[in-house]
A and B are shown apart, each in its own frame.
Chain A
Amino acid sequence: MDNSNTTHLKREVLVRLIKAYINQEMKELYKLPFEMRPKNAEVPYRCCIYKERAILRQRAIAGLGLSVETDDEMTSLTQYGQQAIDREKPDEEILTVVETACKGCVPSRVYVTELCQGCVARPCVSTCKFGAIQIKDGKSVIDGEKCKNCGMCMNVCPYSAIVRLKVPCEDACPVGAITKNENGHAEIDFDKCISCGACVGACPFAAVHEKSQVIDVLKQMKAGKKVVAMLAPSVVGQLPVSINKIAQGLIKAGFDEVFEVAYGADVTARTEAVDFKERMEEGHEFMTTSCCAAYNELVDKHIPEMKPFRSETRTPMHYTAQIVKERYPDSVAVFIGPCVAKRKEAQKDEYTDYVMNFEEMGALFVALNIEVAHLEDYQFADVASKEGKNFAVTGGVAESVKVALKDFPELFPTCVNGLNPKSVRDLKNWAKKGQCPEGNLIEIMACEGGCVAGSACLNNKRITTKKVQEYANAAQCINDLPDIELKASK
């Protein structure tokens, strides 16, 4: 969801945390909510200044990479700051619900609004199979005990007077992993959660946070490690400058080298092309791509029947990190992207150490006062292809496999553009039947539009899609570039 107010709050908290760490003022962190909402300050969003401060305090806990769920409300931000500095590795669960920010939306239900005209036809009453609608004082009223939320009455009301009240996070989740607990607040079931980030983007109160690893990354820099940034292809257009200037900004912020993940995407494209050809020659019905981390979690947790159809190919992030570690064995590899699920993937990946999102990258630039437009262009050591650079946009991955296959007329690509209850149902059906009527190479993107629609983007996907495509179109074809030699995977 596009909401200036909530993104502004989240980013301001991040900027302040980064500044505190860099200026060695972590001991003063307890003041953060008071500095953002000083005595007698305006209260822009909530009931009172105390509530706003309580929310800001919990946003800072998430910004420090810690769980809000286990907050006892007595531990100060300064103490939490110390915990963040002391930890060896980031938390396993990557999302946290800021309970004080969660509105506790009314449960999702069908509701007759005051627009009901009390008509004589009463199609709502006659349509309801459960006898849940009665006329009281000349207007329709739904009996919550009997209503099954089917929505039939909504569809027949001639005045559109009946609506479905939604809980945005629940409504956005493709796998039913976020629901309201007994206190009415959102709670994530991590056994079900596929880390797609849909709830992060959907909540109008910005109550779902990623647990930031930005302190962990800064700590590695401070310790004098060689820290390498790996920029996801979707970074193009996130700021109104070239990717080379963004990369130079990262160097200024303390990274030692910057790699384009599009370079690793070339390995993914070529490997996936070989995998696909072999499968088709063996008589398989179809193959799905395997570069979307949220899709991979969906298969592992909810559609195990899909495993035989999913390509064995590793992701662009994995290959890029492998290249980084082969070149600089003692370095720290940090993926920078728009995606929640990459944090989960990185925990399992042999080569990737940390993940930062674009919002954190932006906050880092703000905190350090880095004006990327004024920097020179960073020169990447490796040349990525047009196809690799296009991975960030829906259709780009399937297209890359098609191009890498060169001449293979039996290829019929199709895209699942966004995970939602319907596309998840489709995938389950195809896996169960072992057949897909839509095509034989299925590209899956958890976010509608591709990675450029990830939940931590800085710019809108209409603009970034265009920028990514322009950047890709200026690059060489994957088949005109040399193969990338990798040592055997661990």
Chain B
Amino acid sequence: MEESGKISLELCFGTTCFVMGASKLQDIESFIPPQYKNKVDVKAHTCLDLCKNSTYMKAPFVKIDGEIISEATVEKVIQAIERKING
């Protein structure tokens, strides 16, 4: 959780993540349900360095409050946000 009390959503747009599907996450903000929008802080990174170990096949990576989601899709990310908010 950020100091602001918001959930931190970090997207990786490094080459590996982008090629393996992060391009689909570029519009993620428009998929966040309106009631949660002001509760999520979205940050884009050039590379989160998660692909550097041998698990690169699990890209694209996303971090939600530091927790890593691998093979991230819009659905997975939105579900994780809802889980965080609703406990």
Stretch of B1-9, B10-18, B79-87 lying at the A interface: B10-18
Min distance, Cβ B79 to any Cβ of chain A, angstroms: 15
Q: Which of B34-42, B51-59, B61-69 contacts A (4 or more CB under 8 A)?
A: B51-59
Kindly state whether residue A15 has any CB partner on chain B within 8 Å.
Answer: yes
Contact status of A240 and B57, CB under 8 A, knowing A2-B24, A371-B47: no
Contact of B15 among A4, A11, A36, A366 (CB under 8 A): A366
Q: How far is the CA of A8 from the CA of B16 in the complex (A)?
A: 11
Query: In the complex, which of the residues A36, A369, A459 contacts B51, with contact meaning CB atoms closer than 8 Å?
Result: A369
- Minimum Cβ distance to chain A for residue B50 (Å): 12
Q: Is the CB of A458 within 8 A of B47?
A: no
Chain B residue numbers with a CB within 8 Å of A369 are: 16, 51-52, 56
A239 to B18, CA, bound (A): 7
Residue of A nearest to B22 (CB): A240
Task: Please name all residues of chain B whose beta carbon is closer than 8 Å to the beta carbon of A371 when the two chains form the complex.
Answer: 14-16, 46-47
- Contact yes or no, A8 B51, CB < 8 A: no
Assess whether B21 is in contact with A366, with CB atoms less than 8 Å apart.
no
| Residue numbers in A under 8 Å from B46 (CB-CB) | 371, 373-374
Asked if A363 is at the interface (CB within 8 A of a chain B CB), the reply is yes
Q: Is the CB of B19 within 8 A of A366?
A: yes
Once A12-B57, A373-B47 are accepted as A-B contacts, the answer to whether A365 and B15 lie under 8 Å apart by CB is yes
* Residue from the list B15, B18, B71 in contact with A370, Cβ < 8 A: B15
Q: Bin chain A's interface residue count.
A: 20 to 34
Taking a contact as CB atoms closer than 8 A, the residue among A5, A249, A373, A460 that contacts B23 in the complex is: A460
In the bound complex, residues from chain A placing their C-beta under 8 Å from that of B57 are 12, 15, 36
CB-contact partner of B20 in A2, A366, A374, under 8 A: A366
Contact indicator A7/B21 (Cβ below 8 Å): yes
B49 — nearest CB in chain A belongs to which residue?
A371
Which residues on the A side are within 8 Å of B73 (C-beta)?
Answer: 4-5
Please give, as numbers and ranges, the residues of chain B lying within 8 Å of A8 by CB-CB distance.
Answer: 20-21, 71
Please name all residues of chain B whose beta carbon is closer than 8 Å to the beta carbon of A359 when the two chains form the complex.
19
List the A residue with the shortest CB-CB distance to B27. A460
Q: Which residue of A lies closest to B26 (CB)?
A: A463
Of B19, B24, B52, the contact of A365 (CB 8 Å cutoff): B19
A372 to B19 CA separation, bound complex (whole angstroms): 12
Contact check, B24 vs A249: say whether CB atoms are below 8 A apart: no
Q: Are A373 and B14 in contact (CB under 8 A)?
A: yes
The reply to whether B20 and A12 form a contact with Cβ atoms under 8 Å apart is yes
User: Contact flags (1/0) for A452-472 with B, using CB distance below 8 Å?
Assistant: 000000111001000000000
Known A4-B73, A8-B71, A12-B57: A372·B21 in contact at CB below 8 Å: no
Complex contact B13–A240 (CB within 8 A): yes
Q: Does any Cβ of B come within 8 Å of A337's Cβ?
A: no
Instruction: Using known A-B contacts A8-B71, A366-B56, determine if residue A372 contacts B24 with beta carbons closer than 8 Å.
Output: no
Q: Note all chain B residues with C-beta closer than 8 A to A362.
A: 15, 18-19
Complex: A7 Cα to B22 Cα, angstroms: 11
Contact B15 A239 (CB under 8 A): yes
| Distance between Cα atoms of A297 and B46 in the complex (Å) | 41
A12, A370, A371, most chain B CB atoms within 10 A: A371
Q: How far is the CB of A366 from chain B (nearest CB, A)?
A: 5
Q: Which residue of A lies closest to B25 (CB)?
A: A4
**B16 → A minimal CB distance (Å):** 5
Contact B16 A366 (CB under 8 A): yes
A36 — which chain B residues lie within 8 A by C-beta? 57
Name the A residues within 8 Å of B18 (CB-CB): 239-240, 362, 458-459
Chain B hits for A463, CB < 8 A = 26
A459 to B23, CA, bound (A): 6
A374 vs B52: C-alpha distance in the bound complex, in angstroms?
14
> Are B52 and A4 in contact, CB atoms less than 8 angstroms apart?
no
A383 to B14, CA, bound (A): 28
Instruction: Name the CB-closest residue of B to A3.
Output: B24
Q: Is A363 touching B19 in the complex (CB atoms < 8 A)?
A: yes
User: Across the interface, which residues of A come within 8 angstroms of B16, CB to CB?
Assistant: 365-366, 369, 371
Residues of the B chain whose Cβ atoms lie less than 8 Å from the Cβ of A7: 21
Q: Considering the chains assembled together, what is the distance between the CA atoms of A2 and B71 in angstroms? A: 16
Identify 10 new A-B residue pairs, CB closer than 8 A, beyond the known A2-B24, A12-B57, A369-B56: A5-B73, A8-B71, A239-B19, A240-B13, A362-B19, A366-B16, A371-B47, A373-B14, A373-B47, A458-B19
By a beta-carbon cutoff of 8 Å, the part of chain B in contact with chain A is 13-16, 18-21, 23-24, 26, 46-47, 51-52, 56-57, 59, 71, 73
Binding site for B on A (CB under 8 A): 2, 4-5, 7-8, 11-12, 15, 36, 239-240, 249, 359, 362-363, 365-366, 369-374, 458-460, 463
10 contacts between A and B (CB under 8 A): A5-B73, A8-B21, A36-B57, A239-B15, A362-B19, A369-B51, A370-B15, A371-B46, A374-B47, A463-B26
7 cross-chain pairs, A with B, having the tightest CB-CB distances, nearest first: A362-B19, A373-B46, A4-B21, A459-B23, A366-B16, A365-B15, A240-B13
